[in-house]
A and B are shown apart, each in its own frame.
Chain A
């Protein structure tokens, strides 16, 4: 097992180098990173020359990439092009925000989605199953931005009508959130709608996946054996069927976690949440390559890490899988 983990981490190094170089080259080729500055009458030629020299913008891309690697390793990704605030300080702020949003949404949808999936499968073709199926297809088909906007409008109007604040529709916290339980409540009121919006799609995914997985398992010979032993229906389902059906679902969830660290870009934009997705979009619009690269590295490491977690979990859940 340890050799397997070590080997996987070693494999990921060339992957990180290759992706980072490709993205670096790609973003560098989008356009002149100082284009905005050059048409700004207030920016002096001196400033432009200074930034160009400091960031080696006149050097070829591979050389610039080399400088970037040096900065990333020695100075925690350095600073953006047009500001002196260290990139790492920004990341340190936005990563917890995104984690709070995404982990909550993921856990809720995993828990509820798996439960719905199990119930749908053991009561296949029941009213509940059809309702869940309809809901899932709605969830799949609904664009996130539309749902987010509708939720925003609904809760804004509710506030205007009743003057009672149930959920906030924008931002991450009130200007003065207080401390302790007040802070938690304030944060929950702000995150509730974005979490719900994210849950709709995830719920659809997990419930369908769980349903399909369980339906496949309940027809296997070993579930029939379990039943033939005279076990209670509950035990047959939970111990024998669900245990096996969960294996692919858990793997999928672990992989999802990695991908979600990049932030829920659309949701964060609409609800003005100061998270990873928002950070990425802002810097992409500024064609500021350095924060984008830092963002990318965080996401890449997270994806590789959670892939590894998924593999390890798979081995833990299925005794037939051994990584020696």
Chain B
């Protein structure tokens, strides 16, 4: 096993609000290895993005608070770094692509300016002309046509897909070793989504960066990810390689996610959603946070009283936080009637 690029250990993040303390991320542990793509999946408000924002020091404190945990990047705990060190890490070694390209670019500054700014922030003494040349090159790399003209335009002159390309160009400007894509396609049309996925692939090939893909789009995960972390209520509920997760999920929540996907097979009657609502992160249900919606729990006391730990499932590198995941042994997801890419 190679050395991980980033290992997050027992990360816990809280937000203080007027209604109480929001436990956004609770004891999350995972590794990202060089060159791989790790998909983090979960519903809105399951704490997917917050763990990454915490690593980058982008959580506003207050109201946010990193209660405990470490994030070791190349042997050093990011949480212990000084503000200056963390700043140099951001956009340099670790870059992030955000969800909504319509609001993530500064409307009053030219795209080229925002791009070269990222280059010059991490490379002292790069002349404006040089930065411009690199900027135009990056825009070409991510597939912005007429890059030379586009460079001098304002974000409002770009379409959503073009803006997201510009955002990706900005993120890979300094050849990061870790690229974090936070729902990179959520705000885009389906056709544009496919193009952006391609751009992300190119970007990854170009920089050899490890990629963390935060999304609730299982299709995107199947397409891009090597390993998957499933989150629910601020905790990791299942972790494994993408093929195992999609074919033999061992957590009832993951099973629910798979079941709720529309299939291409004939004879399917409607969608099968997971019943109920995602829990409030202020007052999580006691015991297993998923038990009120769980198809496996059946009112068993243990689900209501004891928080399940992540346990081995018997498959290598596949763990699940369900007291009774053995009961899912043998479950085959309908998705794998045709092999997953």
B156 cross-chain contacts in A, Cβ below 8 A: 319-320
Asked whether B272 is an interface residue with its Cβ less than 8 Å from the other chain, the reply is no
User: In the complex, what distance in Å separates the CA atom of A225 from the CA atom of B102?
Assistant: 12
Residue-wise interface mask of A (204-224) relative to B, using a CB-CB cutoff of 8 A (1 in contact, 0 not): 000000000000000111111
Determine if A228 and B90 form an interchain contact, defined as CB atoms under 8 angstroms apart.
yes
Give the Cβ gap from A233 to chain B, nearest Cβ, in Å: 8
Give the Cβ gap from B298 to chain A, nearest Cβ, in Å: 43
User: In the complex, what distance in Å separates the CA atom of A256 from the CA atom of B120?
Assistant: 39
Determine if B107 and A222 form an interchain contact, defined as CB atoms under 8 angstroms apart.
yes
A228 cross-chain contacts in B, Cβ below 8 A: 56, 58, 90-91, 95-96, 98
User: In the complex, what distance in Å separates the CA atom of A319 from the CA atom of B154?
Assistant: 7
Additional 20 contacts, C-beta under 8 A, given A223-B106, A320-B156:
A222-B105, A222-B107, A224-B98, A228-B96, A229-B90, A229-B91, A229-B117, A229-B170, A230-B88, A230-B90, A230-B91, A231-B87, A231-B118, A235-B121, A239-B117, A240-B106, A243-B108, A244-B108, A247-B108, A319-B154
Give the Cβ gap from B245 to chain A, nearest Cβ, in Å: 29
Asked whether B240 is an interface residue with its Cβ less than 8 Å from the other chain, the reply is no
Determine if A230 and B106 form an interchain contact, defined as CB atoms under 8 angstroms apart.
no
Pick the contact of A224: B58, B107, B122 (CB < 8 A).
B58
Mark out the residues of chain A between 57 and 81 whose CB falls within 8 Å of any chain B CB in the assembled complex: none
Minimal Cβ-Cβ distance residue in A for B105: A222
User: In the complex, what distance in Å separates the CA atom of A226 from the CA atom of B105?
Assistant: 8
Determine if A232 and B87 form an interchain contact, defined as CB atoms under 8 angstroms apart.
yes
Asked whether B305 is an interface residue with its Cβ less than 8 Å from the other chain, the reply is no
Asked whether A187 is an interface residue with its Cβ less than 8 Å from the other chain, the reply is no
User: In the complex, what distance in Å separates the CA atom of A230 from the CA atom of B98?
Assistant: 15
Residue-wise interface mask of B (152-194) relative to A, using a CB-CB cutoff of 8 A (1 in contact, 0 not): 0010100000000001001000000000000000000000000
Asked whether A97 is an interface residue with its Cβ less than 8 Å from the other chain, the reply is no
**Can you name 7 A-B pairs with beta carbons within 8 Å?**
A224-B98, A227-B58, A231-B121, A243-B106, A318-B108, A319-B107, A320-B156
Minimum-distance CB pairs A-B, first 9:
A230-B91, A229-B91, A230-B90, A221-B103, A222-B106, A229-B118, A221-B104, A319-B154, A228-B96
Minimal Cβ-Cβ distance residue in B for A217: B106
Determine if A220 and B108 form an interchain contact, defined as CB atoms under 8 angstroms apart.
no
B90 cross-chain contacts in A, Cβ below 8 A: 227-230
Report how many residues on chain A are interfacial, defined by Cβ distance under 8 Å.
Answer: 25
A302 cross-chain contacts in B, Cβ below 8 A: none
Asked whether A265 is an interface residue with its Cβ less than 8 Å from the other chain, the reply is no
B108 cross-chain contacts in A, Cβ below 8 A: 243-244, 247, 317-319
Asked whether B92 is an interface residue with its Cβ less than 8 Å from the other chain, the reply is yes
A residues adjacent to B (C-beta < 8 A): 219-233, 235, 239-240, 243-244, 247, 317-320
A225 cross-chain contacts in B, Cβ below 8 A: 98, 104-106, 114, 167, 170
Give the Cβ gap from B109 to chain A, nearest Cβ, in Å: 7
Asked whether B140 is an interface residue with its Cβ less than 8 Å from the other chain, the reply is no
User: In the complex, what distance in Å separates the CA atom of A45 from the CA atom of B112?
Assistant: 80
User: In the complex, what distance in Å separates the CA atom of A310 from the CA atom of B168?
Assistant: 36
Asked whether B100 is an interface residue with its Cβ less than 8 Å from the other chain, the reply is yes
Minimal Cβ-Cβ distance residue in B for A219: B60
Give the Cβ gap from A135 to chain B, nearest Cβ, in Å: 24
B114 cross-chain contacts in A, Cβ below 8 A: 225
The residue among B58, B83, B105, B107 with the most chain A CB atoms within 10 A of its own CB is: B107
Pick the contact of B100: A221, A239, A317 (CB < 8 A).
A221
User: In the complex, what distance in Å separates the CA atom of A231 from the CA atom of B98?
Assistant: 16
User: In the complex, what distance in Å separates the CA atom of A223 from the CA atom of B105?
Assistant: 8
User: In the complex, what distance in Å separates the CA atom of A223 from the CA atom of B56?
Assistant: 14
User: In the complex, what distance in Å separates the CA atom of A314 from the CA atom of B58?
Assistant: 31
B100 cross-chain contacts in A, Cβ below 8 A: 221
A226 cross-chain contacts in B, Cβ below 8 A: 106, 117
Mark out the residues of chain B between 66 and 87 whose CB falls within 8 Å of any chain A CB in the assembled complex: 83, 87
Minimal Cβ-Cβ distance residue in A for B156: A320
